[in-house]
Chain A
Amino acid sequence: MGELRLMKGNEVIAEAAIRCGCDAYFGYPITPQSEVMETLMDREPWNETGMVVLQAESEIASIHMIYGAAASGKKVITSSSSPGISLMAEGISYIAGAELPCVIVNVSRGGPGLGTIQPSQADYFQSTKGGGHGDYRLIVLAPSSVQETNDFVELGFKLAFKYRNPAMILTDGVIGQMMEKVVLADYIPRLTDEEINEKYGSWATNGRKANRQRNIITSLEMDSVKMENNNLRFQEKFAQMEEEDVMFEEIQCEDADYLLVAFGSSSRICQKAVDLAREKGIKVGLLRPITLFPFPKKPIAVLAKKVKGILVVEMNAGQMVEDVQLAAGCAIPVKHFGRMGGVIPSPGEVVAALEQKLIGG
């Protein structure tokens, strides 16, 4: 068993990045995630593992630093919060278009605009539907605990390298700021240049070797037929993700008459709401999507045939509810309950919404 610690969600991102053999972090301060870079700078991983940590001049620069380092075959991570992710959208689209692996953490806050520094889940659309220009998807992992935040850093890299596609950890100010016990991972050494050549030599731009052609990393293709083929290849990857890498958790769904669907911090609130509802005699289950893309369509479709109605609980105006409606079909009502602007719903509010919107009376 690994080392047990009491840590904040934001701190554990830094610790997990160091331990999983990350080559670099590039970022820019923004609340509520600044502890990520602060922890890294305090840990001085350049002395320990050789990991580079750089405070960039903007989120725009951060994500393009990620592009450059990722394109040379390095394992790189950045973090930000909602307005900063909007600034990164250009670079994320380029990274997806150039098929580069990296991990991007969004400790999301309320919007739109400068919004609020309080937690929110209003970036669901931005995270799962692309966010920048063009047809691309991110692999989106939504942790609901500090432990999962830790685990998803390495998982994010595994998936990002499997598909050569950026992975996002979509968390929020609740999970980023709260402290929980966490079992840290063991250290994985950073790859050597030789190992990078061996594993990623077919594409990594780390200097043209005598034994290979030059590598070119670009998202540009002027021939529209070739560009369409690039897009078809991307779509194949996204379809493969939906086949192989969907993750979700079902809680008390076996006998459920009603189903809650919630991710991240909302799912923690809904776990309590399930208990409260069951105390009142309402058989409620919870389905927690862990990967928001690929979305757990199939388990929702299966449960939609068993329950009388679904309540999607999100800290936004109703975003994931659209995906749940698509997955569930039209046979049963699928309703949304949400709070916005940084307000966190209570379990009691969730039960009340369930009674009002689905059960009636």
Chain B
Amino acid sequence: MELKDIINPNNLVYEKPKLITENTMHYCPGCSHGVIHKLLAEVIEDLGIQDKTIGVSPVGCAVFAYNYLDVDWQEAAHGRAPAVATGIARTNPDKVVFTYQGDGDLASIGTAEILHACNRGENMVVIFVNNGIYGMTGGQMAPTTLIGQVTATTPNGRDVGRNGYPLKITELIAQLPGTSYVTRQSVHTPATIRKCKKAIAKAFQAALDKKGTSFVEVVSTCNMNWKMTPVKANEWMVENMFPFYVLGDLKDSSKTDPASYTPLKN
């Protein structure tokens, strides 16, 4: 058998999604962003909505998400992606708009924007990547940093008396009537990656069906700023983050009450 017999389209079992560009990703080895980007690309491709999808990237590690997915993108100011997405969605009601935000962006500086966009039920998808730390600025405490977790600004561990409690913003979001689907996923094993893809696909389908805001949290690792190997970071996430940020659907109005959501009037 020669090499050309092996490298043959008939033997192809996996390929890069068409919507992932050729640009070299800037993410650190072991980072969860690459996997989540791939899932987004697959879902947008599967649904055939490349020509009507507009992404809004955050400030944080995913600021350059626009370099990697072959759809139209807007780069928002820190925390303001839900407001930017509102502007797009309201004036382009036939388009599919998603934001891609980290924990500092969504749950700290952008708390007002995300809560109000979700409460109005803006027709959009929110991808919320929660790794409990500020990545791009070098590992400072995030609103979702666990109690006792060591970061650059909590060198002796997050202390409740000094720093307050980690914020379960997804639980808050799930209570808002404007959201139709709120879920918490992860991408640390092949099984969870498949499950996460289904959740993202469901969220995008909800946007196509004009069911209001769909919110997918992905509990993720930041092995670089956690100062761990990628494997160790995954283990740490399972042991420490999952008990606090419990995986699974927090709200699925398509199961409970399909008529509970009143579509927005433009």
**Nearest-CB residue, chain B, relative to A69:** B87
Asked if B50 is an interface residue, CB under 8 A from chain A, the answer is yes
Contact of A72 among B70, B75, B88 (CB under 8 A): B88
**A42-59 vs B, Cβ < 8 Å mask (1 yes, 0 no):** 000010001010101110
Contact between chains at B112 and A205 (CB < 8 Å): no
Most chain-A Cβ atoms within 10 A of its Cβ — which of B51, B53, B72, B92? Answer: B72
Asked if B251 is an interface residue, CB under 8 A from chain A, the answer is no
CA–CA, A70 to B95, complex, Å? 15
Shortest beta-carbon distance, B19 to chain A, in Å?
A: 10
**Nearest-CB residue, chain B, relative to A56:** B83
Q: B266 to chain A: which residues have CB within 8 Å?
A: 46, 50, 52
Contact of B84 among A65, A74, A219 (CB under 8 A): A65
**Nearest-CB residue, chain A, relative to B54:** A205
Asked if B253 is an interface residue, CB under 8 A from chain A, the answer is no
Known contacts A61-B113, A69-B88, A74-B91; decide if A208 and B70 are in contact (CB<8 Å). yes
Most chain-B Cβ atoms within 10 A of its Cβ — which of A76, A214, A216? Answer: A214
Known contacts A207-B95, A218-B66; decide if A68 and B88 are in contact (CB<8 Å). yes
CA–CA, A98 to B87, complex, Å? 15
Q: B77 to chain A: which residues have CB within 8 Å?
A: 64, 67, 90-91, 94
Known contacts A205-B73, A208-B72; decide if A71 and B80 are in contact (CB<8 Å). no
Known contacts A57-B112, A72-B54, A72-B88; decide if A208 and B71 are in contact (CB<8 Å). yes
Q: A50 to chain B: which residues have CB within 8 Å?
A: 266
Shortest beta-carbon distance, B162 to chain A, in Å?
A: 28
Contact between chains at B51 and A64 (CB < 8 Å): no
Shortest beta-carbon distance, B185 to chain A, in Å?
A: 26
Shortest beta-carbon distance, B126 to chain A, in Å?
A: 14
Q: A209 to chain B: which residues have CB within 8 Å?
A: 51
Contact between chains at A207 and B90 (CB < 8 Å): no
**A216-250 vs B, Cβ < 8 Å mask (1 yes, 0 no):** 11111000000000000000000000000000000
Asked if A210 is an interface residue, CB under 8 A from chain B, the answer is yes
Q: Interface size for chain A: under 10, 10 to 19, 20 to 34, or 35 or more residues?
A: 35 or more
**Nearest-CB residue, chain B, relative to A205:** B72
Shortest beta-carbon distance, A228 to chain B, in Å?
A: 19
Q: A68 to chain B: which residues have CB within 8 Å?
A: 56, 74, 76, 83-88
CA–CA, A72 to B72, complex, Å? 9
Contact between chains at A64 and B83 (CB < 8 Å): yes
Contact between chains at A206 and B54 (CB < 8 Å): yes
Contact between chains at A206 and B92 (CB < 8 Å): yes
Shortest beta-carbon distance, A131 to chain B, in Å?
A: 15
**Nearest-CB residue, chain B, relative to A95:** B77
Contact of A54 among B52, B56, B70, B90 (CB under 8 A): B90
Q: Interface size for chain B: under 10, 10 to 19, 20 to 34, or 35 or more residues?
A: 20 to 34
Shortest beta-carbon distance, B22 to chain A, in Å?
A: 13
Q: A214 to chain B: which residues have CB within 8 Å?
A: 70-73
Name B58-80 residues within 8 Å CB distance of A: 63, 66, 70-77, 80
Most chain-A Cβ atoms within 10 A of its Cβ — which of B91, B116, B265? Answer: B91
CA–CA, A214 to B53, complex, Å? 11
Known contacts A72-B92, A91-B77, A216-B75; decide if A208 and B87 are in contact (CB<8 Å). no
Q: A216 to chain B: which residues have CB within 8 Å?
A: 66, 72-75
CA–CA, A91 to B51, complex, Å? 27
Q: B90 to chain A: which residues have CB within 8 Å?
A: 24, 52, 54, 65, 69
Name B100-147 residues within 8 Å CB distance of A: 112-113, 116
Contact between chains at A76 and B91 (CB < 8 Å): yes
Contact of B91 among A52, A64, A217, A219 (CB under 8 A): A52
Asked if A260 is an interface residue, CB under 8 A from chain B, the answer is no
Contact between chains at B75 and A219 (CB < 8 Å): yes
Q: B85 to chain A: which residues have CB within 8 Å?
A: 68
Q: B265 to chain A: which residues have CB within 8 Å?
A: 46
Asked if A215 is an interface residue, CB under 8 A from chain B, the answer is yes
Asked if A60 is an interface residue, CB under 8 A from chain B, the answer is yes
Shortest beta-carbon distance, B57 to chain A, in Å?
A: 8
CA–CA, A68 to B72, complex, Å? 12
Contact between chains at B72 and A206 (CB < 8 Å): yes
- Given A56-B86, A69-B88, 16 extra CB contacts under 8 A: A23-B91, A24-B87, A52-B91, A60-B113, A61-B112, A64-B80, A67-B80, A72-B87, A76-B87, A94-B77, A205-B88, A206-B72, A208-B50, A214-B71, A218-B74, A219-B75
A-B contact pairs, 7 of them (CB 8 A): A57-B116, A64-B76, A74-B91, A74-B92, A207-B72, A217-B73, A218-B75
Report, nearest first, the 7 A-B pairs whose CB atoms are least far apart: A68-B87, A218-B75, A65-B87, A64-B83, A68-B84, A69-B87, A205-B72
A interface residues (Cβ-Cβ under 8 A, vs B): 23-24, 26, 46, 50, 52, 54, 56-58, 60-62, 64-72, 74, 76, 90-91, 94, 98, 205-210, 214-220
